[in-house]
Structure 1
Amino acid sequence: MGVTTETDAREVGLCPQRLARIAPWMDRLVAEGRLAGLSVTIQRRGKHVYGRACGQADIARGTPFTLDTVTRIYSMTKPLTSVAVMQLYEQGLFQLDDPVSRYLPEFAHMRVATGGNRAKIETEPARRQITVRDLLTHTAGLTYGFMEATLVDAVYREKGIDFLAREGTLAEMTARATAAPLLAQPGTAWNYSVATDVLGHFVAVVSGRPFADYLRDEIIAPLGMVDTDFHVRPDALPRFCACYAYDRQRTLRPFDDSVETAFARPPAIASGGGGLVSTAADYHRFCRMILDGGVLDGRRILGRKTVALMTANHLPGDLASIGTPRFAETSYAGIGFGLGFSVMLEPAKAQILGTPGEVAWGGMASTAFWIDPAEDLAVVLMTQLVPSSALPIRKELRVLTYAALVD
């Protein structure tokens, strides 16, 4: 994919001059040292109409960031795991309102934190069982240890509940998660969490196959996502980028090397919540499948009604209305959540350009995507800066992209 031509842009209702504003924005981010490198790719009406990369994938080695640079997509893994869950749902193997404990018995007697302190957390029994839908929507009451905001978060850190750990098994890590109290009663609050990692274990148990094998065989390979996996293939390692963070002076510093990286070898745990690496081209194939109602190049991954269910809002309102979200890869007001994606409800309330029904998510290293069925549009942003809250680049790219729509 090269930068779009004027003819290509106009054919799909985009203004070439407005679309051209993306390039100087990208260049400024690199020139000002805010990002090492990045790529932006856009498809509309089934055509790849914009693709540009700039900067470096590895500053120390002088490797350029290109359109086929392999990146850590972290939480952009979650939508693929959710699709795996829904494939098994289509086979009649469970219902969304089934208790998870029917398949993972360790969830049978969960308790919920009500107060206390680090020495002793007070708890009460969960008022109802966690359902499969609770896990898909992050309303199960689970959390992440890295939040560092609650007593339960601290328990996660103490118990080593980390599905990106390079030791242990998916089953063992899930068991650790069930040994910790819940942050909230099931179904009562939205809390970003290890829920999708637990769903990876759920897929393994229900399908009778290792989760990584299932994801490769049923989603990644059928979609032709040739550079997507839980580690970087040896032949693709030269295209793998370094990951960066800011130091106290807001200067880029290495976070994870492009060669001396744990991603160069298969992990002990296949993290369904954040373990994949991928490329812009690969992720666009996933987006296209969602846009086309579950099919790509004649291969059906999901039924169109299943896709419609996944991309609908399953919360009683927006994220801001159900508890007090502490962290997400999206804003809270005007944004709902479906089965694996955020869902745009009210652009005015979200204070950003967009379309009701648009689905999206991002990853810890500032990668992002959104899929807009009404506009037949998909955008993928690839870069490598942690945390994703460091820069407002996702919002900026949304404005630049939507401002180019002129049909």
Structure 2
Amino acid sequence: MSKFAPVWSSLEDQVAAGWAPGIVAGVRHKGETEYFATGTLAFGSSEPMRTGTRFRIASLSKPVGAVVALSMMEDGLFGLDDPVAEWLPEIAEPRVLVSPDAEVDQTVPADRPITVRHLLTMTLGLGAFFTEVPVAKEFAGVGNGPMPQAFSADEYMARLAAVPLAYQPGTRWMYHTGIDVLSVLIGRVAGAPLHAVLQERVTDPLALTATSFQADGADLPTSYRPTADGVEVFKEYDEGFAEPPQLESFGGGLVSTVEDYLTFLSALADDRLISRESREELTRDQLTAEQRAGTTEMAGPTWSWGLGVAVDTAVTEPWTAVGRYGWTGGAGTSAYTDPSRDLIGVVLSQRFMAGPTENFGYFWGPLATVV
């Protein structure tokens, strides 16, 4: 019997309870790898989930983009503390609100340039807002959610440049936007579409045949979002992935499988994509106490951020550990590497998270008991 049987049983229980129609997961522990799939592609469907089923992985795209950026740095194409103005002239001279709740015309010049580090650490000064402030309404037209954007990278930058920063660059973590902007930078530096850069630096070297920015929507599981009465089909999200995206972004645009993503995280942990030094930089806590106020606002004080990945800073659950790194995706995905346990886990569902504190305990909890 598999030592991971309790984990797989827990996934089956989630599906049997109607939490989601199907779940797929994979684990690598001390060199031993297993995959498991249960349920179907949709409620009422007879089409089974498989370990090779492709999912919209949402923000699990972010660590992939970070690895691409670090690999480009190793090739000398740009540096972590380089100002982005050379490639992103639209934000070469940003304006900053006098306070985050100020009217959008109450601004001062930025006191420092936006750098590549600010994008990877998501401290450029704009991102998800959790309070109703005037700039949040302006920012809504830029796009900062799970839906693929219906405009080009150039238009994205033009829209972004028209919105003042809520904070001075480098002073506060704000979710998501930095990786969207990083994606535009990567494409411009490479002089190539982002899918070509991804293929050259990640998917071809690792033979990841199912990871891309686009898939046939008919082959993907149906997406659901929680409601007061259970779940409902998230039709708009499904339709957003039915055509090639106008704005390819590592913010949340990738489609992948458990098999591909576990291979990616394994290659990162084994230093087969970037150097050990780059991997250690990517996965260490990069935030100051001042910057970390943004992570606390989003999901509590026990975690921080590296270069495109979350980093545990305290033990709060049986499965957490200081230095454990990874992230979750709002579409119902989670993946972490725990060096202290020599453990990598990936779980993909098609049920959207109910909020930023959802912890995927149905997977990580049983896993912690068997490793």
**Alignment partner of 2:206: what SS?**
coil
The question of 1:87 aligning with 2:39 is answered no
Aligned twin of 2:193: 210
Taking structure 1 as the reference length, the TM-score comes to 0.83
CA distance in 2, matches of 1:336, 1:273: 18
Deviation of 1:393 (Å): 4.9
* 1:113-132 correspondence to structure 2 within 5 Å: 113-115=97-99, 120-132=104-116
Alignment CA distance shift 1:336-1:352 (3 Å): farther
The structure 2 residue matched to 1:377, chosen from 318, 343, 354, is 343
Deviation of 1:341 (Å): 0.6
CA distance in 1, matches of 2:180, 2:161: 13
Q: Percent identity?
A: 29
The structure 2 residue matched to 1:45, chosen from 30, 42, 66, is 30
Contact 1:188 1:322 in 2 (8 A): no
Aligned twin of 1:354: 320
Taking structure 2 as the reference length, the TM-score comes to 0.91
Output the aligned Cα RMSD.
2.6
CA distance in 2, matches of 1:325, 1:191: 10
CA distance in 2, matches of 1:261, 1:324: 31
Alignment CA distance shift 1:261-1:94 (3 Å): same
Aligned twin of 2:312: 344
CA distance in 2, matches of 1:174, 1:352: 42
Aligned twin of 2:285: 313
CA distance in 1, matches of 2:255, 2:357: 21
The structure 2 residue matched to 1:245, chosen from 225, 231, 237, is 225
User: Which letter does structure 2 place at the counterpart of 1:248?
Assistant: A
Aligned twin of 1:254: 233
Deviation of 1:316 (Å): 2.1
Q: Please list every run of 5 or more consecutive structure 2 residues that lacks an aligned counterpart in the other structure.
A: none
**Alignment partner of 1:52: what SS?**
strand
Alignment CA distance shift 1:382-1:170 (3 Å): same
CA distance in 2, matches of 1:282, 1:152: 39
Aligned twin of 1:34: 19
The question of 1:198 aligning with 2:194 is answered no
Alignment CA distance shift 1:164-1:185 (3 Å): same
CA distance in 2, matches of 1:373, 1:119: 46
Deviation of 1:108 (Å): 1.6
The structure 1 residue matched to 2:300, chosen from 332, 350, 360, is 332
Aligned twin of 1:288: 266
CA distance in 2, matches of 1:67, 1:272: 23
**Alignment partner of 2:344: what SS?**
strand
The question of 1:23 aligning with 2:1 is answered no
Contact 1:164 1:271 in 2 (8 A): no
For these two proteins, the number of residue pairs brought into alignment is: 371
CA distance in 2, matches of 1:120, 1:111: 10
Deviation of 1:38 (Å): 0.8
Alignment CA distance shift 1:342-1:163 (3 Å): closer
CA distance in 2, matches of 1:211, 1:201: 8
Deviation of 1:191 (Å): 1.0
1:13-64 CA-partner distances (Å, limit 9, x unpaired): xxx3xx332233223322222222112211112321x322222212243322
Aligned twin of 2:241: 263
**Alignment partner of 1:397: what SS?**
helix
* 1:179-198 correspondence to structure 2 within 5 Å: 179-198=162-181
The question of 1:303 aligning with 2:271 is answered no
User: Which letter does structure 1 place at the counterpart of 2:82?
Assistant: D
Alignment CA distance shift 1:388-1:150 (3 Å): same
Deviation of 1:210 (Å): 1.6
**Alignment partner of 1:368: what SS?**
strand
**Alignment partner of 1:21: what SS?**
helix
CA distance in 2, matches of 1:318, 1:380: 31
Alignment CA distance shift 1:148-1:333 (3 Å): closer
Aligned twin of 1:230: 213
Alignment CA distance shift 1:318-1:36 (3 Å): farther
Moved more, 363-372 or 37-46: 37-46
CA distance in 1, matches of 2:21, 2:244: 26
1:372-407 CA-partner distances (Å, limit 9, x unpaired): 1232211000001123528845234222212212xx
The structure 2 residue matched to 1:167, chosen from 137, 140, 150, is 150
Q: Please list every run of 5 or more consecutive structure 1 residues that lacks an aligned counterpart in the other structure.
A: 7-15, 296-300
* 1:37-116 correspondence to structure 2 within 5 Å: 37-48=22-33, 50-115=34-99
User: Which letter does structure 1 place at the counterpart of 2:274?
Assistant: L
The question of 1:276 aligning with 2:276 is answered no
Contact 2:55 2:257 in 1 (8 A): yes
1:62-93 CA-partner distances (Å, limit 9, x unpaired): 32222121110011111111111111111122
CA distance in 2, matches of 1:292, 1:55: 32
CA distance in 1, matches of 2:82, 2:249: 23
